[in-house]
Amino acid sequence: MRHQHCISYSKNGLWRQLLAAASLLLLLSAAGFGQSGWTRGDDRPDMLEISLFGGGSFFKSVSSGLGTEHVSGGAVGVRVTENFWKYVSLEQGFTYSTNNLRMPLATAPNTAAFGNRIYQWNLNPVFHFTPRGSKIRPYLTAGVSAMNFNPTDRAESQARARVNGGWLSDSLHPALNYGGGVKWHMTDHFGLRFDLRGTYSRNPGYGLPDTAPGGGLYIPRGDKLWGVMPTVGLNWYLGRKYVPPPPPVAPPPQALGALNGGALSAGTGTLCQGRPITIRSAGVSDPAGRQITYKWKVNGQPMGGDSAELQFTPDRAGSYAIELEVSAPNTDGMAVRTAKANTLSINVQEYRAPTIAGVSAVPSQLNYGDTARLSATGTGSACSTISFKWTASEGTAANDTSANASFDSKTVRFEQGGKIQAKTVTVRATVTDDRGATATGQAQIKVDYVPASIRFPDLIFSKGSARVNNCAKRILLEEAAAKAADPDYEIVLVGHYDQDEVAKGRRPTTLDMQRVLNAYAVLTGGSGTCGSVDPSRIKVDWVGAEQTSDFQPGICGTSARPAAGERRGSAVSTADQNRRVEVWLVPKGTKVPAAFKSAKTLDPKLIKKAGCPK
């Protein structure tokens, strides 16, 4: 069993370490003086930086989970930076920090500690975000380090045990360092530097074993050590400012020739009131190459600036006289030579706002669904271009950006039903010039709306019969009577019989009239299966075997689809299509269809006799 001992380690190496670091930094700095960058200098003399700094030094645990750690401490050091390039520098640094080591023990007093100092040498490229010579220079850096972990000459606390016959010893390890900061150039030769630097290395062993037989001190092998060091430093800048070469010596003055006033031009195109006009001078020259001064006049009044071009906006039409006088100093710097260009006369055209006339619609009265031709005459001036736009209070204007357009009444809105209506629509033509001035004219169009007659399917009858079957009743009651609720419509019934229903040598039959009377009775009977349409709103006609209008038999009354509930032998077929009654819904006040001869109100005696047919 080994006994636990207090151990001390005697050294006088601090000054030797500092001296070695300083020598290395001076050698690396001296090497930089041979670079071409030292021969030019910059706007600020910062080719070489020497920084003295101080701050804190912090580490994570040496052995995760065991509690072995370096105690947070302070740090001081020096950095030398050579700014060989505009954004990239080379930096050498030395840091001295105090970070004692504290370790847990399995036996009392449960904790061992000893004083420890860390010597760190760095070599880093530095990448700046602003160029050399800037007042503020943020940067990032990453480089290599050598870290020497040294127990102090007199330990903070005696070591717990003597291990393997040896004492505590230094631990030297390679490392990486990385971080960033900012430099502040306060004067040409002094500034501040703020730096945050991290380190990464193997954990130091200090000559201790990696296991602890008998409860002595130990540090496990293979763990990594992470550290961070925030510092603030004072920068000392060496170098010299860039001195530009002297300007070339001016040649001796030459004899001056005559000053040329050149010629004036106003370009091409129409010159207009209210629009900018540019007058250009050409051929102005001074043989001596002296600075030329320009003076412009318009109608004798000074205008414009000292420029080879004059731009002005005339506020009235008429003639304008443009004059140019150029001048240049003489060799003695006092006298001034002058010359004049030929006077330029320009003629400015008058601007007139647009006008519009002759706005018309042909025809000015039309039926719903028809079109009218629209036309207008717009006038501008030589100083403007015009465009057309047509609009309508209702309906649609087609080709509406032309002087000649058209009006379509299909989208004019009218009430639905049988009422005859009319509307007056306003069409408006607007002419606009390229300066935004407008002129407007309008015309009126009357649109008449005459609703069309509605034809229902024909009521089909069996040969020789005037009985209204169930299919015909559905047409009369569910379609015609329902639509006839609109008081602006009248129902018109037109009766027919087929040629084969008239016996040879006999007078014509009355089947056409009987069929109309029975259909009439279904609409007006008012009881049983009949409707209650006002008789005054029904007109009738019967035309015998005449078949002027086309056939529109109701499909529910054919043999292909027999009407339900018909009496035996009463079903009709397409062969019966001439045995029919036409059913029309005609708007009041409109012409009756051509199929009618003389639509009339039915005699009241006939109405009473008809009753409601079964």
Question: Is 595 within a domain?
Answer: yes
- Between CA 232 and CA 55 the distance in angstroms is 6
- Between CA 465 and CA 572 the distance in angstroms is 10
Two structure tokens written together for 259 = 């000053």
Mean pLDDT of 149-168: 59
Mean pLDDT of 319-339: 78
pLDDT at 5 over 70: no
Predicted confidence at residue 139, as pLDDT, reads 96
Select the more confidently predicted residue: 483 or 230: 230
pLDDT at 96 over 50: yes
Element housing 171 (H / E): strand 171-185
Q: What is the CATH number of the domain that holds 470?
A: 3.30.1330.60
SS3 157: coil
Select the more confidently predicted residue: 274 or 429: 429
Provide the CA 483 distance to its chain's centre, in angstroms.
55
Of 348, 375, 391, which residue constitutes the final position of a domain?
Answer: 348
Q: What is the CATH number of the domain that holds 384?
A: 2.60.40.1080
User: Does one domain contain both 224 and 273?
Assistant: no
Question: Is 256 within a domain?
Answer: no
Beta strands in 450-537 (DSSP E): 454-460, 489-495
pLDDT at 97 over 90: yes
pLDDT at 78 over 60: yes
User: Does one domain contain both 200 and 64?
Assistant: yes
- CA torsion through residues 291, 297, 302, 303, sign: negative
- Between CA 371 and CA 365 the distance in angstroms is 10
Bond from prior residue into 245 cis (ω within 30 degrees of 0): no
For the chain, what is the domain count?
A: 4
Q: According to the per-residue pLDDT averaged within each range, which of 251-265, 458-472, 520-534 is highest?
A: 458-472
Of 327, 348, 369, which residue constitutes the final position of a domain?
Answer: 348
- Are 587 and 488 in contact, with CB atoms under 8 Å apart? yes
Q: What is the CATH number of the domain that holds 330?
A: 2.60.40.10
Confidence of residue 389 (pLDDT cuts 50, 70, 90): very high
User: Does one domain contain both 193 and 305?
Assistant: no
Q: Which of 416, 557, 541 is nearest to 476 (CA)?
A: 557
- Between CA 127 and CA 59 the distance in angstroms is 26
Predicted confidence at residue 166, as pLDDT, reads 43
Element housing 608 (H / E): helix 604-610
User: Does one domain contain both 392 and 539?
Assistant: no
Element housing 523 (H / E): helix 511-524
- Are 70 and 270 in contact, with CB atoms under 8 Å apart? no
pLDDT at 159 over 70: no
Question: Is 93 within a domain?
Answer: yes
Select the more confidently predicted residue: 88 or 502: 88
Two structure tokens written together for 42 = 């910059």
Question: Is 7 within a domain?
Answer: no
- Between CA 7 and CA 156 the distance in angstroms is 11
The pLDDT tens digits of the residues spanning 360-376 come to 999 999 999 899 999 99
Predicted confidence at residue 557, as pLDDT, reads 47
Q: Which domain holds residue 27?
A: 14-238
Predicted confidence at residue 55, as pLDDT, reads 94
- Are 383 and 272 in contact, with CB atoms under 8 Å apart? yes
- Between CA 150 and CA 171 the distance in angstroms is 7
- Between CA 389 and CA 397 the distance in angstroms is 9
CA distances from 272 to 11, 309, 465 (A): 99, 18, 91
Predicted confidence at residue 35, as pLDDT, reads 39
The pLDDT tens digits of the residues spanning 412-427 come to 998 887 788 898 999 9
Mean pLDDT of 315-329: 86
- Between CA 542 and CA 187 the distance in angstroms is 121
Predicted confidence at residue 81, as pLDDT, reads 93
Confidence of residue 42 (pLDDT cuts 50, 70, 90): low
Question: Is 1 within a domain?
Answer: no
Confidence of residue 213 (pLDDT cuts 50, 70, 90): low
The pLDDT tens digits of the residues spanning 44-64 come to 667 889 999 999 999 888 765
Predicted confidence at residue 243, as pLDDT, reads 64
Tell me the pairing of strands 355-362 and 336-340: unpaired
Predicted confidence at residue 65, as pLDDT, reads 54
User: Does one domain contain both 193 and 314?
Assistant: no
Lowest mean pLDDT: which of 144-153, 196-205, 295-304, 526-535? 526-535
Residue 9 has phi, psi (to 5 degrees) of -130, 120
Two structure tokens written together for 281 = 């001078």
Question: Is 257 within a domain?
Answer: no
User: Does one domain contain both 501 and 372?
Assistant: no
User: Does one domain contain both 89 and 143?
Assistant: yes
- CA torsion through residues 48, 52, 58, 59, sign: positive
Q: What is the CATH number of the domain that holds 164?
A: 2.40.160.20
Lowest mean pLDDT: which of 57-71, 251-265, 450-464? 251-265
pLDDT at 229 over 80: yes
pLDDT at 185 over 70: yes
User: Does one domain contain both 273 and 329?
Assistant: yes
Predicted confidence at residue 572, as pLDDT, reads 66
Burial class (CB in 10 A: 0-12, 13-18, 19+), 475: buried
Predicted confidence at residue 106, as pLDDT, reads 61
Question: Is 44 within a domain?
Answer: yes
Confidence of residue 1 (pLDDT cuts 50, 70, 90): very low
Confidence of residue 563 (pLDDT cuts 50, 70, 90): very low
Question: Is 303 within a domain?
Answer: yes
- Are 457 and 552 in contact, with CB atoms under 8 Å apart? yes
CA distances from 289 to 93, 256, 260, 608 (A): 59, 9, 12, 123
pLDDT at 127 over 60: yes
pLDDT at 569 over 60: no
Select the more confidently predicted residue: 227 or 44: 227
Question: What's the whole-number average pLDDT of the chain?
Answer: 80
Residue 569: how many other CB atoms lie within 10 Å: 7
Q: Which of 292, 315, 291, 318 is nearest to 303 (CA)?
A: 315
Percent of the chain with pLDDT over 70: 78
Lowest mean pLDDT: which of 433-442, 541-550, 568-577? 568-577
User: Does one domain contain both 444 and 462?
Assistant: no
Select the more confidently predicted residue: 39 or 404: 404
Predicted confidence at residue 164, as pLDDT, reads 40
Q: According to the per-residue pLDDT averaged within each range, which of 386-390, 450-454, 599-603 is highest?
A: 386-390
CA distances from 144 to 85, 126, 222 (A): 21, 12, 20
Select the more confidently predicted residue: 58 or 333: 58
Select the more confidently predicted residue: 602 or 358: 358
Select the more confidently predicted residue: 571 or 11: 571
User: Does one domain contain both 100 and 61?
Assistant: yes
Lowest mean pLDDT: which of 76-90, 128-142, 494-508? 494-508
Of 412, 429, 449, which residue constitutes the final position of a domain?
Answer: 449
User: Does one domain contain both 427 and 486?
Assistant: no
Lowest mean pLDDT: which of 313-327, 389-403, 587-601? 587-601
Lowest mean pLDDT: which of 132-146, 300-314, 561-575? 561-575
User: Does one domain contain both 183 and 90?
Assistant: yes
pLDDT at 181 over 80: yes
pLDDT at 450 over 80: yes
Select the more confidently predicted residue: 523 or 245: 523
